[in-house]
Amino acid sequence: MDDFTGRLTRDGIRIHNPDDFAGMHRAGALAAEILDRVAPMVEPGATTGAIDAQIEAWVKEAGATSATIGYRGYQHASCISVNHVVCHGIPGEKKLKNGDILNIDVTVIVDGWFGDTSRMYVAGTIGRKAERLVQVTHDALFKGIEAVKPGNTFGDIGHAIQSYVEAQRMSVVRDFCGHGLGQVFHAPPNVVHYGRPGKGPVLEEGMFFTIEPMVNLGRPETKVLADDWTAVTRDKSLSAQFEHSIGVTADGFEIFTLSPAGKFHPTWA
Ligand code: MF3
Ligand code: CO
Ligand code: CO
């Protein structure tokens, strides 16, 4: 036994109770609202450190806790990953330039529940290849989400994402994955963004997890820089990512991290 609600499957995946959806909804809504509010700050000349400081202030103002500050020694309320940074970019003094694309990833804890979401932003005017990458990555996330319903498998999710991305002649990062979450940040299963139909654990009502595909314009390989966090594409090609926290319902899914302002996609910002 542990202190958490629900039960575990044989694969160690937690099945949450119907009441738990409300907690996830509150946490997810706050994370998404913070990503909405940050949009006007993203412009050439802004530093990623200033954006992160504002995010940290908003988390506190809401009476919530940042899940990333103190997580394995990480010291910031967000990860901000610019251009060829795949994920886990550390906010700092570097200024955004016209044409940069960036992912901002925020995880908050509200009444013990974790809301984890990220989306792409653009600084100024971006190039056509960058725009296509952002669009394909966004659409790949939704291909994955549409595969979420009881009876489907995690392999179905990965396959939906991988087959879509590769048909666009882009690549899916394999070195990082989505994850179960709920009253913990990272729990089983690893939600990989590639796979084969029918493989992997079967989805059941009450499972909570993220889907967060990272897509590269070039090759899929990554490396982690000397700071032990920043993951970049080995070939320096542009990379994009979108992330939602999802719950499996009786007939499909609930997205906990929907944008209250409808600003998940950057061209709508
Ligand atoms: N939010 C990230 C995820 O999607 C994890 C960030 S951990 C950090 O799982 F320490 F780098 F912030
Ligand atoms: Co995240
Ligand atoms: Co995540």
User: Is residue 88 in contact with ligand 1, taking CB distance under 6 Å?
Assistant: yes
pLDDT at position 266: 85
pLDDT at position 3: 78
131-158 pLDDT tens trace = 999 999 999 999 999 999 999 999 999 9
d(CA 53, CA 57): 6
Structure tokens at 125: 């005017």
d(CA 29, CA 194): 28
- Beta-carbon contacts of 163 under 8 Å, excluding residues fewer than 6 positions away, are none
Measured over the CA atoms of residue 47, residue 215, residue 235 and residue 130, the dihedral's sign is negative
pLDDT at position 1: 52
CB 222 within 8 A of CB 194: no
Structure tokens at 48: 């990623």
pLDDT at position 212: 99
Distance 117 CA to ligand 3 centre (A): 7
Distance 214 CA to ligand 2 centre (A): 11
**Ligand in closest contact with the CA of 71:** 1
Mutate to test the pocket of ligand 1, among 78, 85, 185, 256 (most ligand atoms within 8 A of CB): 185
Mutate to test the pocket of ligand 1, among 76, 88, 257 (most ligand atoms within 8 A of CB): 88
pLDDT at position 268: 44
- Beta-carbon contacts of 221 under 8 Å, excluding residues fewer than 6 positions away, are 175, 233, 234, 235
Distance 108 CA to ligand 2 centre (A): 10
- CA nearest ligand 1 atom 2, residue: 105
**189 φ, ψ (degrees, to nearest 5):** -90, 170
User: Is residue 68 in contact with ligand 1, taking CB distance under 6 Å?
Assistant: yes
Report CA Rg, the chain.
17
Confidence class of residue 269 from pLDDT cuts 50, 70 and 90? Answer: very low
pLDDT at position 115: 99
Q: Say whether pLDDT at 83 is over 50.
A: yes
Confidence class of residue 2 from pLDDT cuts 50, 70 and 90? Answer: low
213-267 pLDDT tens trace = 999 999 999 999 999 999 999 999 999 999 999 999 999 999 999 999 999 998 7
Distance 190 CA to ligand 1 centre (A): 14
Residues near ion ligand 2 (Cβ under 5 Å):
105, 116, 118, 243
Rounded average pLDDT over 200-215: 98
CA-107 nearest atom, ligand 1: 1
53-70 pLDDT tens trace = 999 999 999 999 999 999
Rounded average pLDDT over 97-120: 98
